[in-house]
């Protein structure tokens, strides 16, 4: 079997095992939201599983593994801390009410398999960027690390700023419009997209890993148009007084100075 096929199959098998296990755990817990906690972890497992089964350029492989591991462990750790004791997310509660007693098996396809397919698609650069290629890291990899670092900073700092804001009882029901949130309504989502564009650039230098650009596009579309900005703001517009004014002056995704009223 070729290294390319091995990488793709190992990634698929790793994701399938993770999602099946997570689904089985979610049943007695009656909490499908645990899938969100393993989202970042799943990419870490994919990166390491390919690394130990495919022989490629050591420098590029270790760089990709390191970038994904730092991002994935930070994200999963943050979500585990944030969601501890909060119960099932409202999105899954709505699905549970809609499907009733059938939700246990419906969730396998609509939640866990779907996220597994997306995980495999987004991580295609991590997979193919590790197959044998011209050795060494160049300018493109350096640019990728820089973009990744900007993204990780936006994501981590944005999450920390929001956590501090929510911890103050005086801010209950108010709109977070400070720090990075003054320049973009979703610095964490913008940062997430940058992380995957950075990973895609590092992978692209291997040649075949250029398919990782498709993964970065998928992640960006998900964050901007599907499960990220669009879905979250439907809820925030109803729950946060003053959010419409915040929307009017603040960029939805790419940071920029706020508009003057």
Domain ranges of the chain: 1-131, 137-261
Place of tokens 């720090």: 179
Rg of the chain's alpha carbons, rounded to an integer? 19
Q: Are the beta carbons of 12 and 117 closer than 8 angstroms?
A: no
Q: How many CA atoms lie within 13 A of 118 on its CB side?
A: 20
Q: CA nearest 126: which of 49, 227, 41, 33?
A: 49
Q: Are the beta carbons of 104 and 25 closer than 8 angstroms?
A: no
- Give just the sign of the alpha carbon dihedral 109, 115, 120, 122: positive
pLDDT tens digits along 184-220: 999 999 999 999 999 999 999 998 999 999 999 999 9
Q: What is the pLDDT along the chain (261 residues), one digit of tens a residue?
A: 899 999 999 999 999 999 999 999 999 999 999 999 999 999 999 999 999 999 999 999 999 999 999 999 999 999 999 988 788 887 888 889 989 989 999 999 999 999 999 999 999 999 999 998 878 899 999 999 999 999 999 999 999 999 999 999 998 888 889 999 999 999 999 999 999 999 999 999 998 999 999 999 999 999 988 876 766 776 676 666 777 888 889 998 999 999 875
């Amino acid at each position: 079997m070729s290294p390319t096929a091995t990488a793709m199959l190992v990634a698929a098998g790793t994701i399938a095992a993770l999602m099946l296990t997570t689904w089985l755990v979610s049943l007695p817990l009656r909490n499908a939201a645990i899938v969100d906690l393993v989202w970042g972890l799943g990419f870490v497992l994919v990166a390491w599983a390919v690394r130990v089964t495919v022989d490629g350029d050591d420098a590029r492989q270790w760089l990709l593994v390191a970038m994904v591991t730092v991002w994935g462990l930070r994200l999963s750790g943050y979500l585990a801390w944030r969601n501890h004791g909060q119960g099932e997310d409202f999105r899954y509660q709505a699905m549970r009410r809609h499907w009733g007693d059938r939700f246990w098996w419906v969730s396998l396809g609509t939640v866990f398999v779907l996220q597994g397919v997306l995980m495999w698609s987004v991580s295609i650069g991590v997979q193919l960027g590790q197959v044998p290629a011209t050795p060494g890291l160049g300018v493109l990899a350096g640019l990728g690390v820089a973009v990744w670092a900007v993204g990780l900073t936006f994501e981590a700092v944005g999450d920390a700023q929001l956590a501090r804001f929510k911890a103050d009882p005086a801010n209950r029901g108010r709109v977070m419009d400070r720090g990075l949130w003054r320049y973009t309504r979703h610095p964490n989502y913008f940062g997430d997209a940058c992380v995957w564009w950075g990973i895609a650039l590092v992978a692209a230098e291997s040649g075949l890993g250029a398919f990782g650009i498709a993964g970065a596009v998928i992640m960006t579309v998900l964050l901007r148009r599907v499960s990220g900005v669009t879905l979250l703001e439907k809820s925030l517009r109803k729950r946060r007084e003053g959010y419409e004014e915040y929307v009017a002056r603040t960029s939805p995704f790419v940071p920029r100075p706020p508009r003057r009223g």
